[in-house]
Amino acid sequence: MRFKVNYFFEFFKMIQTFIKTNQWIKVTFWGWLLGVFLLIFLSSVLDACGIENMQFYIGIGMGAGVGFTQWRLLKKYCAMPLAWFYYSSLGMGLPFLILDFVMDKGVVYKLPLSVALGGLAIGCLQYQLLKKLSTNTINWIPFTTIGWTMAAFTTLLIDLTMRIKVTGYMNLVMALLNLLLILLGGVVLGWVTSRVIKKL
């Protein structure tokens, strides 16, 4: 047990070191984590209001968290307007809201499709801001779409680990693995989108 747990802690340290070496990945990671807390909060509010079987709060929460921390970094270097944050929140939230009305919650591909469309919407909206800074930012659209989609699938791997039946100390190992998958979503999104940002 000690070996397995230590292995996870060493992996966490490696991820932490990787995040610290890249500011964009760092702020995106913290935004992703903020988004998780926001969606938990919004979920609680909706439950208290009796609103169920909706997922739009996921898009709004994650988009707002990531958009806010990214905007705080960008405004230091290029006076990025607050619209970056708004575009991230609305861009990710709107596809979720639309699909909430056209698809049942139980549809397997609803969540990844919502995220992919949200990533595309964010990319298109934020590109309107980036193109004013550089003519070399058209790739922001596909990279943002791919980044959000990959981040979502990374986190959704938890669905697979939850199907694994474990007992004893392996429950702790699986809990650490699930936590790692949640955290990796932000790292993946930051790494993919940094390919464009670093060229500004």
| Number of other residues whose CB lies within 10 A of the CB of residue 121 | 24
Question: What residues have CB less than 8 Å from 88, skipping those under 6 apart?
Answer: 63, 64, 66, 67, 68, 70, 71, 122, 126
Q: How far apart are CA 91 and CA 182, in angstroms?
A: 21
Backbone angles phi, psi at 132, to 5 degrees: -75, -20
Question: Residue 1's pLDDT is what?
Answer: 46
pTM of the model: 0.84
Per-residue confidence in pLDDT tens, the chain, 200 aa: 444 555 545 555 555 555 555 889 999 999 999 999 999 999 999 888 888 888 899 999 999 999 999 999 999 888 899 999 999 999 999 999 999 999 887 787 888 999 999 999 999 999 999 998 888 889 999 999 999 999 998 887 777 666 667 666 666 666 666 677 788 899 999 999 998 887 77
